[in-house]
Amino acid sequence: MKRNKFLTTLAAISLGAALLAGCSGNNNADSKENGNAAASNTESGNAASANNASSGDATNKEVESNAGTLPDKPTGTFSFFINSGATWDPAIWDWGGHHNAIGIFEGLVHYSQGKVVPGTATSWKEDGAKWKFTLRQDAKFSNGDPVTAEAFVLGIQRAVDPNTVKGTSKASSFLGDTHIVNYLDIQNGLKKVDELGVKAIDPYTLEIDLQEPDKSFLDKLAISNWQMPVDPKVVKLGVSDDTWTDPAKIVSNGPYMIDKLNVKTDMWLKPNPYYYGKVSLEKIHMTWSTPEIKQLLVFQNNESDMATLAAEDVPAVKGDSTLTNELNWFDTSISYTFQVRHSENPALQNEKVRQALTMAIDKQAIADKVLGGTGTPSYDGSITTWMADWIKNVGPQYDVAKAKELMKEAGYPDGKGFPTLVMLVPGADDKVAQAVQQLWQQNLGINVKYDGEEWGAYVTKFDESADPGTVSVVQNGVGPAVANWKETIVQTDPLHMELAKIALDGKAWENYRKIWNDSKLEQGDKNKQASDLFAANFSKDITDRYAKAADAYKKDDEAGLKDFVSWRMNTAWTFPIYTVRNGILLKPNVKGYFPMRMWLSTPPDWLNDITVS
């Protein structure tokens, strides 16, 4: 079974939550917010689809954009903080790979100012599940070698090939969200990597064959590290070695290349002399974000052009008019949630109980008093308010009286007779989880036990059913695959059946895990056995709703999709609490910084859009 790709993100959310207690007050009027200018989706021959559609709140102010107004030659230095990397191999899931995606490498497409735009590909054609990309013929690697279709084939093959990470503790950057033909059988060792559905038609034409049509394919490419090309003259298949931490050996194709690198502290970038277009900055200094570094102080000393605020910094910044004017609030796509754990105890199979648990949580109070504004209420773990503002009015709302009434109707008046609810949480001092625990106890009268586990134990227990007879929920960090609510819905449900899997009882879930973890079964057999299990265990309501949602998506029936979202939220199998929101300070001479909302730390989505005057 594929583990939730946001578990790594969850570590950052959960550990950070301990730092977010003790702040209070509403921040809505104290600083400018990042903009939510809605972007349209267009099919592309030469222009990629725009994403990051939003609420269109006219009161929000976007960080000034200057895309398309780059200087004739690289000018200025931009210094900022970002998460540290351990390797800059695009085939490896690591923050170094994320550095690659914002300008060290350039894929077929990339983000720029919140939109998906052409990168090394100048045009593409979709034919059902088959995509054909035409590449630039003037694109070169930082050593002067041409960027060809074969370079993309090698890069994608390396990310899918299990031998790339064999014998290491590393994970592949190919998470399986994009279903390239034969990818799973290759990852399971059942087929050879040259059977992957990607091939070079000629030196400047790349073909990618998917298992099924995917309207969100371009959006997935733009957020992915695995799509980066690697120079066949330098990089070999099935190997990830120390080449990827040595600037002298790393050959990339983006507007910037690595100049100096200290894996423990920081990295300097310089222009790629062979890049086909203009390069905006002369130097870029990326310093690793660590708890020991007080970014606010560094920013105030003019040693950095950007700083991410810790929650405890917010009151001081709001009290300084200069800093307040430099403060930007950037929404992310990552939500802190709880979800029902699989159990043979039927208490949480009762929808009224689940709805009562949702209605008993005062999300706004948590956002204001526990998080100090560094989070906003979350209503659906996969759909953010900046994607779809209407989501805040859908599903169970905070209503203690109604929650108590539902518990009474379920047979638990004032919580009497309800078994102890166990909260599985990574960490011993998660202030948000403790706030939810307190709200459930005082608003519903139930007993709630906080089970804070160290990270390794938590990860092990995450996919397991709760202990026999136990009623339990587990904390998770979730988010959309792409920045489009319609595509996100289809990717989550019904395509991957996330809600339906959560709804399985303990016995059915363990049988599913046995099927999915059986390395001897070919993918087709796994799918068949899993499908039979689902047919025997999914309720008719879920099956019918999934069919209607798939039909609504096919017909682009927005009302039908919204109806499905409303139903899904009202089933209350998950309890979204907050969406992470970052306070970012930027010097006034920095232009063109647009946040990568799909990442937890909201770095710039494309470094070559930034200028420093």
Residue 242 confidence (pLDDT)? 78
Class of domain 335-579: alpha beta
Closest by Cα among 269, 433, 428, 249 to 338: 433
Residue 188 confidence (pLDDT)? 84
**Number of alpha carbons in the 13 Å side-chain half-sphere of residue 135:** 26
Confidence of residue 23 (pLDDT cuts 50, 70, 90): very low
Question: What angle do the packed helices 351-359 and 558-571 form, to 10 degrees?
Answer: 90
Q: Are 333 and 6 spatial neighbours (Cβ–Cβ below 8 Å)?
A: no
Structure tokens at 171: 């994970």
How would you classify the pairing of strands 266-271 and 283-288? antiparallel
Q: How far apart are CA 254 and CA 279, in angstroms?
A: 10
Confidence of residue 271 (pLDDT cuts 50, 70, 90): very high
Neighbours of 365 (CB within 10 A): 15
Per-residue pLDDT for 8 more than 90? no
Structure tokens at 45: 């021959």
Delimit the CATH 3.10.105.10 region(s) of the chain: 335-579
Residue 69 confidence (pLDDT)? 76
pLDDT digits (tens, 9 = 90+) for 284-304: 999 999 988 999 999 999 999
pLDDT digits (tens, 9 = 90+) for 132-145: 999 999 999 999 99
Name the DSSP class of 366. I
Average pLDDT over residues 580-586: 94
Give residue 279's Cα distance to chain centre: 28
Q: Are 263 and 245 spatial neighbours (Cβ–Cβ below 8 Å)?
A: yes
Confidence of residue 47 (pLDDT cuts 50, 70, 90): very low
Average pLDDT over residues 359-382: 92
Residue type, 399: D
Neighbours of 7 (CB within 10 A): 17
Which ranges of 258-320 would DSSP assign to H, the alpha helix? 295-300, 314-318
Q: How far apart are CA 556 and CA 208, in angstroms?
A: 25
Please give, one letter per residue, the 3-state secondary structure of 3-34: CCCCHHHHHHHHHHHCCCCCCCCCCCCCCEEC
Confidence of residue 494 (pLDDT cuts 50, 70, 90): low
Residue 18 confidence (pLDDT)? 34
Q: Are 561 and 553 spatial neighbours (Cβ–Cβ below 8 Å)?
A: yes
> What SS3 class is residue 153?
helix
Separation in Å, CA 176 to CA 1, 183, 483, 582: 11, 8, 18, 28
Average pLDDT over residues 356-362: 98
Name the DSSP class of 101. I
Name the DSSP class of 369. I
pLDDT digits (tens, 9 = 90+) for 51-76: 333 333 322 333 444 455 788 899 99
Specify the pTM. Answer: 0.81
Q: How far apart are CA 14 and CA 164, in angstroms?
A: 30
Q: How far apart are CA 93 and CA 90, in angstroms?
A: 8
Per-residue pLDDT for 390 more than 80? yes
Confidence of residue 202 (pLDDT cuts 50, 70, 90): very high
User: Average pLDDT, whole number, for the chain?
Assistant: 86
Residue 440 confidence (pLDDT)? 98
Lowest mean pLDDT among 137-151, 216-230, 479-493: 479-493
How would you classify the pairing of strands 32-33 and 327-340? parallel
Residue 530 confidence (pLDDT)? 87
pLDDT digits (tens, 9 = 90+) for 300-346: 999 999 999 988 898 899 899 999 999 999 999 999 999 999 998 99
Residue 170 confidence (pLDDT)? 84
Across 28-32, 158-162, 214-218, which has the greatest mean pLDDT? 158-162
Percentage of the chain surpassing pLDDT 90?
63
Average pLDDT over residues 589-608: 93
Confidence of residue 26 (pLDDT cuts 50, 70, 90): very low
Per-residue pLDDT for 7 more than 50? no
Q: How far apart are CA 236 and CA 220, in angstroms?
A: 25
CATH of the structural domain 87-247, one choice from 3.90.76.10, 3.60.20.10, 1.20.120.790, 3.40.50.300: 3.90.76.10
Delimit the CATH 3.90.76.10 region(s) of the chain: 87-247
Interior CA angle at 331 toward 327 and 332, to 5°? Answer: 130
Confidence of residue 17 (pLDDT cuts 50, 70, 90): very low
> What SS3 class is residue 172?
strand
* Burial of 150: CB neighbours in 10 Å, binned 0-12, 13-18, 19+: middle
Q: How far apart are CA 320 and CA 324, in angstroms?
A: 6
Residue type, 269: L
